[in-house]
């Protein structure tokens, strides 16, 4: 969607809604959601005390998420160095809004989140670096420190996760690679 569309327009119909600063009074119909298709996968870094908080919760009413995330997207929480691994998998369970951040000055993109699963065998940054496809991904080159969209790599990441954690296969079934766009 383009920011120029907001003037004199009541509705926007698109396949993927990727306009985080859309005017509040504009109705946006995202067709992939209307037809129950597709989701995105995001890396979300977590550090310090928030790592401990995250490991103890099953859901939260307001958590920092990538600005392009929308309800239904998958969040792979990356514990930053020295840990450098993914253990917690959540989904965005409500609308993403820009609000005053409680953890830093200014605003942040926040949304409710709900746990999908916890990995007994975490996937480490070194595992991604050793993978023939994933080693060249931006989230690997960036040491899993940014809020990367990793949807195109999801089939490989998914296989890596369920290969090490067969017990989460059922919990991740609705997020299988065949459901991503």
Query: 87 near 122, Cβ under 8 Å?
Result: yes
What local confidence, expressed as pLDDT, does residue 64 receive? Answer: 92
What local confidence, expressed as pLDDT, does residue 117 receive? Answer: 98
Helices (H), 24-102: 31-34, 49-56
Q: How many CA atoms does the CB half-sphere of 87 hold within 13 Å?
A: 16
Q: Is 146 helix (H, G, I), strand (E, B) or coil?
A: coil
What local confidence, expressed as pLDDT, does residue 154 receive? Answer: 96
Q: What averages of pLDDT result for each successive group of 10 residues across the chain (181 residues)?
A: 60 79 81 75 92 93 91 94 94 92 86 98 96 94 91 96 97 90 64
What local confidence, expressed as pLDDT, does residue 1 receive? Answer: 46
What local confidence, expressed as pLDDT, does residue 120 receive? Answer: 97
């Amino acid at each position: 969607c383009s920011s120029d569309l907001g003037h004199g327009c009541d509705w926007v119909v698109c396949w993927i809604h990727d306009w985080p600063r859309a005017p509040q009074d504009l109705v946006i119909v995202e067709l992939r959601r209307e037809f129950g298709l597709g989701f995105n996968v995001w890396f979300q870094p977590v550090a310090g005390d928030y790592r401990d908080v995250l490991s103890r919760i099953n859901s939260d009413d307001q958590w920092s998420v990538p600005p392009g995330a929308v309800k239904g997207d998958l969040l792979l929480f990356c514990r930053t160095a020295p840990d450098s691994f993914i253990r917690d998998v959540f989904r965005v369970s409500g609308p993403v809004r820009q609000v005053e951040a409680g953890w830093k000055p200014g605003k942040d993109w926040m949304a409710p989140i709900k746990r999908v699963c916890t990995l007994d065998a975490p996937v480490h940054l070194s595992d991604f670096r050793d993978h023939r496809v994933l080693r060249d991904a931006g989230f690997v080159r960036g040491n899993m420190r940014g809020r990367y969209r990793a949807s195109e790599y999801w089939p490989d990441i998914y296989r890596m996760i369920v290969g090490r954690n067969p017990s989460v296969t059922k919990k991740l079934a609705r997020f299988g690679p065949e459901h991503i766009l």
